[in-house]
A and B are shown apart, each in its own frame.
Chain A
Amino acid sequence: MSIIWLILLPTLGIFIPLLCQSNNRNMITSLTAMLPVASFILLCTYTNQVFSGEELRFFIPWISSLGLSLSFHLDGLAYLFCLLIIGIGLLVILYARYYLSDEDNMSKFYCLLMFFMVAMLGVVLSNNLIQLWMFWELTSISSFLLISFWSHKTEARKGARMALTVTGSGGLALLGALLLIGHITGTYELNEVLDKANLIHASDLYTPTLILFLLGAFTKSAQFPFHFWLPHAMSAPTPVSAYLHSATMVKAGVFLMARFYPVMAGTEQWFIIVSLTGMITMLIGAYVALFKHDLKGLLAYSTISHLGLITLLFGLGTQLAAIAGVFHIINHAVFKASLFMAAGIIDHESGTRDMRKLNGLWKYMPYTATLAMVAALSMAGVPLLNGFLSKEMLFAETLSQDTLGALSWFIPLLSTLAGMLAVAYSLRFIHDVFFNGEPIDLPRTPHEPPRYMRVPVEILVVACILIGLFPQFIVGDLLNAASSAVLQKPLPDFSLAIWHGLNFPLLMSTIAIIGGSILYYKREVLFEFKEQFLAEDAKYVFESRIQWIVSKAVQIHKFFDNDSLQRYILCLVIFALLLVSSPLLELLDAGGDEPRLGLSWLAIFCATILFVSTILTVIWSHQRLKSILALSVVGLIVSITFAYFSAPDLALTQLSVEVVTIILFLSALFFLPQQSPVIDSPLSTVVRDFIIALLFGSVIGTICYALLTRPLDSISTFFLENSLTGGGGTNAVNVILVDFRGFDTLGEITVLGIAALGIFKLLAKIPLYLPRTDSTGRAWATDKHPVLLALISQSLLPLALLVSAFIFLRGHNMPGGGFIAGLITAVAFLQQYIAHGVDWMAQRLKINYQLLIASGLFIATCTGLGSFMFDRPFMTTWFDHFHLPWVGEFELASAMIFDLGVYLTVVGATLLILANLGKLTTSERPMEDI
């Protein structure tokens, strides 16, 4: 069976608790345990292969360009961790069944626990760097969910978020490190990476890689200065703490160091950073642990201290130290898990974890007490227990290293000190809780827990003793396999024995034990000493840091983005100005060498008017009626300009658009304030704006001049040559519009149609009131629709329609076309509106403008689709000349149908807009009250 099943089975196990939503707790528990048990058995079947130094692999490619693949391997180290993860995991599942109360959602808990187990297994089994990181992050996520399991408790939420933030940011650093490693070695497969130690050590990216790498490892393993999150993760249910914070998650960091030991370790930087961090963490953890009144708090800090110990061992740089590190991983997992469970039992049965209340529990739960004491003694490193052995090895190694050169003797000294502290807090755990007088007002009277709640503790404690007594027999092979996987080379010979004869390490242990006892005996002194420093709660420190960041962010954000459109536009204009003007600096001469056109008086005249009326538009922009007049003059001149420079179509279009626009402006003006402040912003701003505008204008002008005075070799000769032969029209512009680039026109009329719809939406239920009077306070004329106007406009209507028909038909060959015709028609109808009012028109003219738009667009599109029938691309036009008696020669072109579509859309859109705007002035609209 492939090793993938090691992780696949628990993955399936995630869903089992969700599926069985029954209230039978035993059933949920046993069903959940089933698959992990299976994968545990599977693991055992690999034992011989692994112990014989074999490495089993499983590989499927996934995202090759990323170096990401589904690739797992099982070697000694992975095996060891799988053993811890699944084994202790099963014990925790059993334990949790009794720990969780009825209101806790058990299936959710188990689901998350399995999720975490899978993530953890993924980390230790991964043979691909990026996949490893993937599972690494999954452990952060799942632990976030587990810590916040009691999400109604604020400390649970805060602790969870703190853990997530710290480990998560570490994870990001780790990702960087792994990518760098992959970049250096050119492979993301772990087993290949591990062979390339020299490559990595030689690379100049080594130092950044190492720093990022250690950031990842230290945050996860709660090393100083990132250790503060771990105690707050204790707000999780105790089974979670027993699992995550003793055996598995916090071990992920040290696992990482062990895993990459061959390629990352072995350099000066590694030894300095890792050993010092480990040492500091070990001391701080042990020191703080001594003063914790909370049972779990004490254990948490002791965990930190022991993790520091392991880190130190990996930092010492001798091979035996690394082996000792691996050994202590095992031992710590075993005794710390049992201790957490014992603490959980005490909490569960007595209702508090405060050691100032918990006293003399020996009477009430002697059995549990014994178990807890054995485990605690092992934590203290007392002989005949497993804790002693690895601590002994530590002492031995601290003596045989020279990490700090001449100052290396610090290390054994400080280690002994840490040992003393460890003994002290272990004694405190034992004495305060189980002896030391009577319990003080406990919520409930403590008693022994249910039979099976003790089983996990028993198993673990037995393990402590057995390993302590027969190390070589119990864990010898396992340790060999794991250590050789760590070192990736044949091991030096070492002996796991209780008795190495009288030597320094033994002396150090003795000192530690005796000194520790004295420390505990004299603890009052220490406590008083500690009282001098007020401890601040990391939770609130962290929270306030976050708050600070957020508030700063808000400040900065507000400063840049003040919700002012003027600023936005200013940014846009300046940005565009910079972009467009930067190349112009290279342009030697604005004017090119094309022959210029002669300047005519008409041109000068027009230019002057244009200039003046532009200025007037600006100046009068606060007196709106005037400014609109000035604007219309500008429009007029523009259309004249088009006409002058041989663009009759443009001239016509501009003119007709002008008319409609002005009507639009006038009717909108009716609802906008007539006057607006002469100066809308401080003078400095106005000046600044003007300067920027001037710059922009001059740059645009310059470019325009530069273009005009340079030759252009364009594709348009093609249009002139083919417009008659290919497009069937002599008016090249119109042929381009309906044929060569008909697709543009289709889009253009669509825009017009959409605009009409949008405006309709805008005017729907608009809360506007009719102004009673004009700006000067005079009431509006009562005679809304003068008879004379009505008469004239009515008689004009057919004429206008005739004109538009004419313009439409000649479009293909002479200036004109659907668009202009459409506008003329629209204006003609508009005039009727003006003359007779909306109500009058509504009765007579029963056109649905929406329908008009739709059918216009429809016709235009279908004309284009027609060409599909002849198996030609969209909008391929067809035209032919016919001869009828009396009528004479005439032409039919599909383009004309398309133009009809344009015509209809324009009429529909324009009238939809203006008629609805006009509706606002109908009688039923409420008048504004004065």
Chain B
Amino acid sequence: MELTYAFCVGALSTGGVFLMLRAQTFPVILGLTLLSYAVNLFLFASGRLVINSAAILNGSEHYADPLPQALVLTAIVIGFAMSAFALILAMRARADLSSDHVDGNDVENYKPGKAIKRRKETV
């Protein structure tokens, strides 16, 4: 079970990081969201995995670790606020810079030649 869980966390963060490295704002924000899922699961896992023993006191002697849960709750809320802001910021950027490229410069449709030229310039 732990292995599966860890695998999922890994997969999520892989997807997240990969998308964050894209050039358009929208995928980047998707990536951030994926990554925040990964983060939440990871943080949650720091309290170890337990089944059918929610931290609601009912006389049983074994409970899940409530602290990470509280932390994850905070993290979820903050993550929500952040991704909301990022999303709207992306809209704003699209509106102001009339491009949804993360650097604002208008290369919405990538053409190999163009990119190679761009890279030449930077070097």
CB within 8 Å of B: which residues of A? 558-559, 562-566, 569-570, 573, 594, 596-600, 603-604, 607, 610-611, 614-615, 617-618, 621-622, 624, 627, 631, 634-635, 638, 641-642, 644-650, 653-654, 657, 660-661, 664-665, 668-669, 671-673, 676-677, 679-682, 689-690, 692-694, 696-698, 700-702, 704-705, 707-709, 712, 714-716, 719-720, 723-724, 730-733, 736-737, 740-741, 744-745, 748-749, 751-752, 754-755, 758-759, 762-763, 766-768, 813-815, 819, 909, 913, 917
Closest 9 CB pairs of A and B: A701-B10, A697-B14, A705-B6, A755-B81, A693-B18, A732-B66, A597-B1, A693-B17, A680-B23
Whether A758 lies near B85 (C-beta < 8 A) is yes
Residues 11-32 of B, flagged 1 when their CB comes within 8 A of A and 0 if not, give 1111111111111111110100
Counted as pairs of residues, one from A and one from B, with CB atoms less than 8 Å apart, the total is 325
In this complex, the interface size class of chain B, counting residues with CB under 8 Å from chain A, is 35 or more
Whether B80 lies near A607 (C-beta < 8 A) is no
Q: Beyond A646-B53, A709-B2, A712-B65, list 7 extra A-B contacts (CB 8 Å).
A: A621-B19, A646-B55, A647-B69, A653-B73, A707-B48, A716-B66, A755-B82
Q: How far is the CA of A693 from the CA of B13 in the complex (A)?
A: 8
Q: How far is the CA of A382 from the CA of B20 in the complex (A)?
A: 83
The 8 Å CB contact of B34, one of A599, A617, A913, is A617
Whether B57 lies near A720 (C-beta < 8 A) is yes
| B residues near A671, Cβ cutoff 8 Å | 91, 94-95
Tell me the smallest distance from the CB of A746 to a CB of chain B, in Å: 10
The 8 Å CB contact of A599, one of B4, B6, B80, is B4
Whether A618 lies near B91 (C-beta < 8 A) is no
Query: Among the interface residues B48, B88, B94, which one has the most CB atoms of the partner chain A within 10 A?
Result: B88
Tell me the smallest distance from the CB of A405 to a CB of chain B, in Å: 55
Closest to B27 in A: A621
Q: How far is the CA of A342 from the CA of B8 in the complex (A)?
A: 89
| A residues near B54, Cβ cutoff 8 Å | 646-648, 815
Query: Among the interface residues B10, B25, B78, B123, which one has the most CB atoms of the partner chain A within 10 A?
Result: B10
Can you give 21 A-B contacts (C-beta < 8 A)?
A617-B30, A631-B34, A641-B5, A646-B52, A654-B40, A661-B83, A672-B25, A676-B27, A677-B24, A689-B22, A693-B15, A697-B17, A708-B45, A719-B67, A720-B66, A732-B57, A732-B63, A749-B77, A752-B78, A763-B88, A767-B95
A657 and B80 in contact, given A621-B22, A672-B26, A716-B65 (Cβ under 8 angstroms): yes
Q: How far is the CA of A737 from the CA of B5 in the complex (A)?
A: 26
Closest to B24 in A: A676
Whether B49 lies near A645 (C-beta < 8 A) is yes
Tell me the smallest distance from the CB of A727 to a CB of chain B, in Å: 10
Whether B27 lies near A819 (C-beta < 8 A) is no
CB within 8 Å of A: which residues of B? 1-28, 30, 33-34, 37-38, 40-42, 44-58, 63-67, 69-74, 76-78, 80-85, 87-92, 94-96, 100, 102-103, 108-110, 112, 115-116, 122-123
| A residues near B3, Cβ cutoff 8 Å | 596, 705
The 8 Å CB contact of B81, one of A646, A679, A752, is A752
Tell me the smallest distance from the CB of A623 to a CB of chain B, in Å: 11
Whether B65 lies near A714 (C-beta < 8 A) is yes
Closest to B56 in A: A731
| A residues near B38, Cβ cutoff 8 Å | 700
| A residues near B48, Cβ cutoff 8 Å | 594, 707-708, 712
Whether A607 lies near B57 (C-beta < 8 A) is no
The 8 Å CB contact of B41, one of A641, A767, A819, is A641
Whether B77 lies near A752 (C-beta < 8 A) is yes
Q: How far is the CA of A649 from the CA of B15 in the complex (A)?
A: 26
Q: How far is the CA of A754 from the CA of B13 in the complex (A)?
A: 27
A768 and B87 in contact, given A614-B15, A697-B11 (Cβ under 8 angstroms): no
Closest to B61 in A: A720
Whether A712 lies near B14 (C-beta < 8 A) is no
Interface of A is mostly: helix
A700 and B8 in contact, given A693-B18, A730-B56 (Cβ under 8 angstroms): no
| B residues near A618, Cβ cutoff 8 Å | 15, 18-19
Q: How far is the CA of A930 from the CA of B109 in the complex (A)?
A: 20
The 8 Å CB contact of A650, one of B44, B49, B50, is B44
Whether A610 lies near B87 (C-beta < 8 A) is no
The 8 Å CB contact of B12, one of A614, A669, A724, A813, is A614
Whether B84 lies near A566 (C-beta < 8 A) is no
A755 and B84 in contact, given A598-B1, A610-B11, A704-B5 (Cβ under 8 angstroms): yes
The 8 Å CB contact of A634, one of B12, B49, B72, is B12
The 8 Å CB contact of B6, one of A680, A689, A702, A813, is A702
Tell me the smallest distance from the CB of A696 to a CB of chain B, in Å: 5
Whether B51 lies near A720 (C-beta < 8 A) is no
Whether B110 lies near A672 (C-beta < 8 A) is no
A682 and B115 in contact, given A621-B19, A649-B73 (Cβ under 8 angstroms): yes
Tell me the smallest distance from the CB of A615 to a CB of chain B, in Å: 7
Q: How far is the CA of A701 from the CA of B15 in the complex (A)?
A: 13
The 8 Å CB contact of A604, one of B4, B50, B71, is B4
Q: How far is the CA of A671 from the CA of B92 in the complex (A)?
A: 10
| A residues near B67, Cβ cutoff 8 Å | 714-716, 719, 736
| B residues near A720, Cβ cutoff 8 Å | 55, 57, 63, 66
| A residues near B89, Cβ cutoff 8 Å | 762
The 8 Å CB contact of B21, one of A562, A647, A693, is A693
A597 and B41 in contact, given A614-B11, A621-B19, A819-B77 (Cβ under 8 angstroms): no
The 8 Å CB contact of A660, one of B2, B21, B44, B80, is B80
Whether B19 lies near A732 (C-beta < 8 A) is no
Q: How far is the CA of A737 from the CA of B67 in the complex (A)?
A: 9
Whether A645 lies near B123 (C-beta < 8 A) is no
Query: Among the interface residues A594, A714, A763, which one has the most CB atoms of the partner chain B within 10 A?
Result: A714
Whether A700 lies near B87 (C-beta < 8 A) is no
Whether A672 lies near B90 (C-beta < 8 A) is yes
| B residues near A758, Cβ cutoff 8 Å | 85
A596 and B1 in contact, given A562-B122, A621-B27, A696-B14 (Cβ under 8 angstroms): yes
| A residues near B72, Cβ cutoff 8 Å | 642, 647, 650
Closest to A624 in B: B26
Tell me the smallest distance from the CB of A293 to a CB of chain B, in Å: 50
| A residues near B122, Cβ cutoff 8 Å | 558-559, 562, 564
Whether B95 lies near A768 (C-beta < 8 A) is yes
Q: How far is the CA of A566 from the CA of B116 in the complex (A)?
A: 16
Tell me the smallest distance from the CB of A611 to a CB of chain B, in Å: 5
Closest to A744 in B: B74
| B residues near A615, Cβ cutoff 8 Å | 15
Closest to A618 in B: B15
The 8 Å CB contact of A737, one of B2, B73, B123, is B73
| B residues near A745, Cβ cutoff 8 Å | 74
